[in-house]
Amino acid sequence: MPDASSPGARLFIIYTGGTIGMAPDDATGTLVPMGFREIKYHIPELAKLGYEFDMHAFNPPIDSSNMSPEIWIELANLIHDNYTNYDGFIILHGSDTMAFTASALSFMLENLAKPVILTGSQLPIGEIRTDAKENIITTMEIAAAKKNGKARVPEVCIYFDYYLFRGNRAKKYNTETFEAFNSFNYPPLAEAGIDINYNDQFILEYPKEPFRINTRFNAGIAVLKMFPGITQHAVSGVLHTPELRAVILETFGNGNTITAPWFINELKKNIDKGIIVLDRTQCDGGSVELGRYETSAYLKEAGVVSGHDMTFEAAVTKLMFLLGQEYPVEKVRQLLEVSLKGELSKK
């Protein structure tokens, strides 16, 4: 069924920065952020949509490479403080770390009953061939969409190049094409063509409890990426990170690593000390299956936790979020393997 365009919807737009609002610096030629006023100037269609919208612009806007847990908290607070006054929320964000912010917000915004959609663009809004206009306009339509009086998509999403993805399943995978994002392990929630077609069966259920935010994070994590020839010095350097609470082990294939005794012992020693080791595959599609091969059976015995089919972005933010709750280590280990906001599927 084609979607009604929900005239009169009230939307709240947060402009954080990113290419979408950048223009070349006259002196150096590099892209630097411009203000939101210029963005509105470049999309006169915004006024024609028939929505009411208010904006909050970061001052100064940031390149999303400078995103941080502190700014995620600021975003969650902005949504919380404006929650009852708007039907949907749009975050204009650089594409580089958009999937991290979307994942972080998916965990922080509890019992979300309204759409929170992040979008951006590959070409700045002022360029003739920009993808920003389509991305912003369709994002607004989706953020305004209702079914039976309720939000059509009550979750944190990324809209980019005709696809709406669950935020904690999306990743930026291409720096050049307009199709910058993909969701390798979960179907798109909607696809925009002549109509916007929603895949209702893949969208999270409408919550039963009232909305609230949870803004506790602990960034005491590190990443250990496997490669043939990795040395004991490199491994031990990561595992000796000060104030380390958890490590994401980026593994081969279904979750495999080298089986050299020094490596397994090094991991085991740390796990026994209470450090959480989360196994996430370096592959974009598919899942970790601890114990499928001998090369991961050792990890399972040592107490490594499976990341299943989580994206790297979801793994990073979920770990920071769970560590921030100050749960006992065993509870964090259990919750890592459970889907909190649709971020993983178990085989």
User: Which residue, 63 or 337, has its beta carbon nearer to ligand ASP?
Assistant: 63
Q: Which of 58, 86, 92, 96 binds ligand ASP (CB under 6 A)?
A: 96
**Residue pair 321/108 in contact by the 8 Å Cβ criterion:** yes
User: Which residue, 55 or 264, has its beta carbon nearer to ligand ASP?
Assistant: 55
**What is the size of the binding site for ligand ASP (CB under 6 A)?**
10
305-306/276-281 β-pairing: parallel
Binding of ligand ASP at residue 61 (CB under 6 A)?
no
User: Which residue, 64 or 311, has its beta carbon nearer to ligand ASP?
Assistant: 64
User: Which residue, 64 or 256, has its beta carbon nearer to ligand ASP?
Assistant: 64
**Residue pair 283/311 in contact by the 8 Å Cβ criterion:** no
Helix orientation angle between 232-239 and 261-272, rounded to the nearest 10 degrees: 10
Residue whose C-beta lies closest to ligand ASP: 94
Q: Which of 9, 12, 18, 114 binds ligand ASP (CB under 6 A)?
A: 18
Binding of ligand ASP at residue 313 (CB under 6 A)?
no
Minimum Å distance from CB 258 to ligand ASP?
34
Q: Which of 63, 127, 179, 337 binds ligand ASP (CB under 6 A)?
A: 63
Is 97 one of the catalytic residues? no
Q: Which of 19, 101, 215, 251 is catalytic?
A: 19
Minimum Å distance from CB 20 to ligand ASP?
6
Closest CA to 214 of 86, 79, 336, 12: 79
Q: What phi, psi does 220 have (nearest 5°)?
A: -75, 55
Radius of gyration of the chain (CA): 21
Closest CA to 141 of 197, 222, 103: 197
Cα separation of 266 and 194, whole Å?
A: 56
User: Which residue, 63 or 179, has its beta carbon nearer to ligand ASP?
Assistant: 63
Segment interacting with ligand ASP (CB under 6 A) among 92-100, 217-225, 234-242, 244-252: 92-100
Tokens 């958009």 sit on residue: 98
Question: Measured at the alpha carbon of residue 159, what is the angle toward residues 342 and 139, in degrees to the nearest 5?
Answer: 120
Please report, in angstroms and rounded to a whole number, the separation of the first and last CA atoms in the chain: 32
State which amino acid sits at residue 43: I
Report helix, strand and coil shares of the chain as percent, to nearest 5: 35, 25, 45
Binding of ligand ASP at residue 94 (CB under 6 A)?
yes
Segment interacting with ligand ASP (CB under 6 A) among 14-22, 227-235, 266-274, 321-329: 14-22
The strand pairing partners of 57, in sequence order, are 15
- How far CA 38 is from CA of 22, 32, 217, 328, in Å, comes to 10, 13, 34, 49
Minimum Å distance from CB 2 to ligand ASP?
31
Q: Which of 120, 154, 167, 188 binds ligand ASP (CB under 6 A)?
A: 120
Binding of ligand ASP at residue 95 (CB under 6 A)?
yes
Segment interacting with ligand ASP (CB under 6 A) among 16-24, 36-44, 241-249, 335-343: 16-24
Minimum Å distance from CB 135 to ligand ASP?
11
Which parts of 259-306 fold into alpha helices (H)?
261-272, 294-302
Footprint of ligand ASP on this chain (CB under 6 A)? 17-19, 63-65, 94-96, 120
* Catalytic residue ranges: 19
